[in-house]
């Protein structure tokens, strides 16, 4: 089968298309023909190991000190079709259309993957009926990150929510989910993403190249920083006295400062890692099938053009999701 092999830490050119053996499912596994996967900012950070201090070091210890040895195929979310099942599998049958994620084990930049019926690392569920493979491939990472953090903030109807870096995969799902929970959403991103933010449902849009959200005097119940670039102190000043500051991609310094803030007053700073749960993926699927969530796809690339796809994501121009069509519909 075709797969994109990760040969070194570095620029997109360290990714190479190769022919490797097709995996064979164990008794408790399903063999999935991947139709679509995605490229996220997290994939690019993993490829380069340009991660917040401490996390990059731990990733290097896990993956390989000098070069990748334990994980050779990147990619963390997918949609596809069950081709074969192990003799102990009861949840799925050949022909089932599925979607999910692989967590830290990666592996979706390939034509096939084997996953356990009940994965210890990752998720697997039946795909939403009203989504294509390409649309469904982009749900897991962005959708679950947004859901996790908004639930941690105990989001309530009528609250004012600010989402910083809202034009990516997490942010576009964050806007839609905050609307679903009854909040009033203000979205922040650059000029070329303003139309996307309005399409996703933001009531107000701030172009950060022209306006600083901390200078307008508006107070928010929740500030959700998807990219980890909001000014820490000024963001707290823009929060209500009991507000919640969510940082999905925090630097070590902000993690330490956040713990101090949370101990000393009513404001809370949340920087924890997302714990992906199958029941949460099914919750997202139900919202999708009810017409309340959608995937915003910017571009699609074939598997062979993975280097160009990574280059585009690293440029910062991606709007919503970038999809890799492994087996085009």
Q: Which domains does the chain have, with CATH numbers?
A: 2-139+295-325 (3.90.180.10), 141-270 (3.40.50.720)
| C-alpha to C-alpha distance for 22 and 31, rounded to whole angstroms | 10
pLDDT over 70 (residue 271): yes
Percent composition of the chain: helix, strand, coil (DSSP 3-state, to 5):
35, 25, 40
Among 277, 288, 315, 311, smallest CA distance to 127 is for 288
Confidence of residue 58 (pLDDT cuts 50, 70, 90): confident
Most confidently modeled of 5-19, 45-59, 264-278? 5-19
Mean of pLDDT values over 31-43: 97
- Average pLDDT score, the chain: 94
Among 195, 237, 233, 203, smallest CA distance to 220 is for 237
Task: Identify whether the C-beta of residue 226 lies closer than 8 Å to the C-beta of residue 171.
Answer: yes
| C-alpha to C-alpha distance for 123 and 282, rounded to whole angstroms | 10
Q: Which residue has the tokens 């102190």?
A: 233
Tokens standing for residue 305: 């053009």
Confidence of residue 205 (pLDDT cuts 50, 70, 90): very high
Question: pLDDT tens for residues 68-85?
Answer: 999 999 999 999 999 999
Using alpha carbons only, how large is the chain's radius of gyration in Å? 20
pLDDT given for residue 269 in this prediction: 95
Paired with 125 in beta bridges are 99
Cα distances (Å, whole numbers) of residue 282 to 100, 130, 144, 278: 10, 14, 10, 6
Mean of pLDDT values over 96-112: 95
pTM of the full predicted structure?
0.94
CA dihedral of 184, 142, 44, 115, whole degrees rounded to 10: 170
pLDDT over 80 (residue 254): no
pLDDT over 90 (residue 109): yes
Mean of pLDDT values over 232-261: 88
Tokens standing for residue 292: 């309340």
pLDDT over 70 (residue 53): no
Among 10, 149, 133, 24, smallest CA distance to 74 is for 10
Question: pLDDT tens for residues 301-329?
Answer: 999 999 999 999 999 999 999 999 999 76
| C-alpha to C-alpha distance for 115 and 19, rounded to whole angstroms | 20
Tokens standing for residue 12: 């997109």
Mean of pLDDT values over 53-75: 87
**Terminal-residue alpha carbon distance, the chain:** 18
Q: If phi over 0 gives left and psi between -120 and 50 gives alpha, with beta otherwise, what is residue 75?
A: left
| C-alpha to C-alpha distance for 282 and 256, rounded to whole angstroms | 34
């Amino acid at each position: 089968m075709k797969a994109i092999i990760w040969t070194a830490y570095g620029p997109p050119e360290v990714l190479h298309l190769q022919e490797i053996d097709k995996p064979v499912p164990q008794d408790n596994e399903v063999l999935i023909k991947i139709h679509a996967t995605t490229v996220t900012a997290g994939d690019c950070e993993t490829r380069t190991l340009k991660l917040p201090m401490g996390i990059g070091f731990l990733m290097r210890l896990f993956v390989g000190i000098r070069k990748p040895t334990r994980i050779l195929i990147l990619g963390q979310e997918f949609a596809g079709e069950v081709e074969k099942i192990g003799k102990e599998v009861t949840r799925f049958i050949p022909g089932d259309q599925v979607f999910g994620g692989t967590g830290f084990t990666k592996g979706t930049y390939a034509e096939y993957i084997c996953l356990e019926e009940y994965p210890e690392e990752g998720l697997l569920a039946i795909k939403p009926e009203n989504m294509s493979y390409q649309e469904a491939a982009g749900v897991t990472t962005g959708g679950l990150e947004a859901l996790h953090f908004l639930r941690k903030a105990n989001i309530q109807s009528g609250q004012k929510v600010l989402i910083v870096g809202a034009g990516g995969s997490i942010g576009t799902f964050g806007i839609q989910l905050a609307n679903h929970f009854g909040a009033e959403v203000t979205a922040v991103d650059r000029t070329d993403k303003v139309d996307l933010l309005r399409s996703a449902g933001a009531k107000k849009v701030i172009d950060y190249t022209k306006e600083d959200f901390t200078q307008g005097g508006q107070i928010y119940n929740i500030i959700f920083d998807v990219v980890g670039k909001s000014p820490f102190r000024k963001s707290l000043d823009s929060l209500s006295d009991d507000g919640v500051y969510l940082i999905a991609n925090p630097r070590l310094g902000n993690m330490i400062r956040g713990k101090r803030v949370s101990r000393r007053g009513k404001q809370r700073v949340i920087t924890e890692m997302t714990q992906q749960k199958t029941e949460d993926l099914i919750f997202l699927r139900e919202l999708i099938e009810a017409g309340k969530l959608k995937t915003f796809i910017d571009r699609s690339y074939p598997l062979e053009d993975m280097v160009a796809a990574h280059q585009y994501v690293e440029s910062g121009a991606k709007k919503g999701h970038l999809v890799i069509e492994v087996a085009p519909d």
